[in-house]
Structure 1
């Protein structure tokens, strides 16, 4: 007869600590700081918010808490950006002209100054990452990474200060800075950089920085050209179609998709070079490149799907119909179908290797036309974003 082991003789099994048990004091302090900040904002500014904005504010707390717990760098990034932004707000003292008279505003913390610093730091980061890759220099990659983080800090600070500046112009002008090409190009650069920095930390490799920073540098170059040639840095009142709380969630979700699709394409470029024998000894393993490409597209597809649904709801609210086959809508659908097919082929047919990489690179061309080409060459209900 087979006997069950007695409690005193049975082997001891140790359960791995749960996720919450693995959190440290810094994690809980970060969560507490976000809760306090949201509470202060709600108590002080609730009279200026509608019910939807209050829901967005409250929902952002657990979202950013989870982000900070998963991506540790966010725990210092958010407080630092908040401190720099609040410092800038205090320097304005309610007067927009202070941006031209106070030293730190004029040369560092006004929105235009901070965004110019962001652009400069991204450019130098690209150079150092390239030097690190070509010379196999850990120093170059390390400096490139630090410069990228500095650009992210000043970029987010510039966006927060620009938001405040819009309200200094007039309460009816104030809006979240995601309403035109100038603002969304900044958003695109920031999102792409942050996702790259996450994967850099996650996979303990900086060799991909030279590739991802190229697409960010291209965005920055366009941003600077657009600023000079179109005087695009000025803050303008929202057109009626954009005067909606939907913009606060639709546009950021959309650009998480654009940013991660661009990142995946640049990683795919590295994959193709490695499989062709170029820089093979200087790039991460093919398995790592394939995994980053897959995860970036998966995240981007999820957010792009949400953004498309939100866009349809916004369209119904603004124009009375969910879909009108506007050029922007049509090309958004093409982007969605392209990556849906990519993921389907990967999960069902095991798509890997050079075919998947070439497809991801081609996807960037489709995404770029949907993002920028439609604004340049086509007209429709979204023509307020034209060049």
Structure 2
């Protein structure tokens, strides 16, 4: 045990610093009472244990170091910190299990099986994908619950947790779609968004701890559980609609898998999800205004983050009204839904990059390039969606006129 504890790689920056401090400064003589006092309050007994550990560490005294550690543990137990120490052990277990890394792997495998269903129409492939997504969703849910318990907060408290929650919401919506249509489309979208958000979360986690102390303005579980959760579900739903539209363009343009029935099914899915997204985005934005009124004394101040949330509501409403008014049809609603991915990403990340406004707790830097790459990819997909469907592989003359949906309209 001693060798493990005294391994140089184990030494934290604090211990490395203490090794360079003269012993007299760490462990004053008994007569030096003035050194032991800060004002009129004695130093915590923990300081003595840490000083003893530092002395033993510097002098490579295995037994002395272990004795100091044992003494420190006894001191902690005397403070009756058992509950807190047990929670620390649970957090260590959570980190070692890494639930979201495991779900990312499951989403990749499930996506491959869902693709297999489209190309060979083997029901076992779809069911395998379904069971894998269900398993991943359970693990994803347990990971969220574990974070909520460890933090004592609702599921979304920062950008990292928002990525995890958006993925969870998208997977849940994908499973709901699959329960109605049973054509692996919901599974494919669920796995793509689920995996993508895990990648985003992983990169956000590289910046440090993902369970940081909340700033004062966010220190309210009620609004975190209402406004933040509802708005984030609106984000997730808008992404689901956008990725359904991407699937429509990719399968239609590059493969011969897309049929008239599949196109109609995708159109109905996008419409239903957009209705859900509009409702949740609107309600969440209104709740955010009420929270802002309580925090800053005004319901609306045209803050960049507020504007981003409003733009999502307006864009989703625009798509729905364009469909109701007959301005766009199947292909047109798909292109508009893809652009919704850009709108949502701007509200989610872009407004934080501006570095202005009252939502300073969400400011970030370094994501501009990634955001622009994503925006560029969506623009390319929209451009493909604008190409006449006669040139799409699924709807070309070679694929048979019988498969072509009422698609000449945009």
TM-score range normalised by the length of the shorter chain: 0.5 to 0.7
- In structure 1, what is the Cα distance between the partners aligned to 2:155 and 2:179? 29
1:163 equivalent in alignment to 2:169: no
Post-superposition shift, 1:209? 2.7
Structure 1: gaps of 5 or more residues: 1-91, 167-173
Query: How many pairs align?
Result: 282
**Structure 1 stretch 375-384 or stretch 312-321: which is displaced more?**
375-384
When normalised by structure 1's length, the TM-score is: 0.67
Contact kept, 8 Å, 2:104 with 2:194, in 1: the verdict is no
The reply on whether 1:190 has 2:168 as its aligned counterpart is: yes
Kept after mapping to 2: 8 A contact 1:258/1:367: yes
Report what 2:193 is aligned to: 215
The 3 A distance-change label for structure 1 pair 352 and 374 is: same
Counterpart mapping for 1:238-387 below 5 A: 238-244=214-220, 245-273=222-250, 275-276=252-253, 278-281=255-258, 285-349=262-326, 351-387=328-364
Residues 200-248 of structure 1: per-residue CA shift (max 9 Å, x gap): 0111221443344223322111111222x21243x22210111122121
TM-score normalized by structure 2? Answer: 0.63
Superposed, 1:66-215 pairs within 5 Å as 95-99=86-90, 107-108=96-97, 113-166=98-151, 174-215=152-193
Distance (Å, rounded) in 1 between the aligned partners of 2:223 and 2:122 = 46
Quote the offset at 1:277 in angstroms. 6.8
> Does the C-alpha gap of structure 1 residues 379 and 206 become closer, same or farther in structure 2, counting only changes over 3 Å?
same
Q: CA deviation at 1:136?
A: 4.2
CA distance in 1, matches of 2:105, 2:253: 33
Residue pair 1:207, 1:284 contacting (<8 A) in 2 also: no
Q: Which has the larger radius of gyration?
A: 2
Instruction: Name stretches of at least 5 consecutive residues in structure 2 with no aligned partner.
Output: 1-82, 365-410
Question: Residue 350 and residue 203 in structure 1: after superposition, are their counterparts in 2 closer, same or farther (change >3 A)?
Answer: farther
Aligned equivalents of 1:184, 1:283: Cα separation in 2: 36
CA distance in 1, matches of 2:308, 2:335: 20
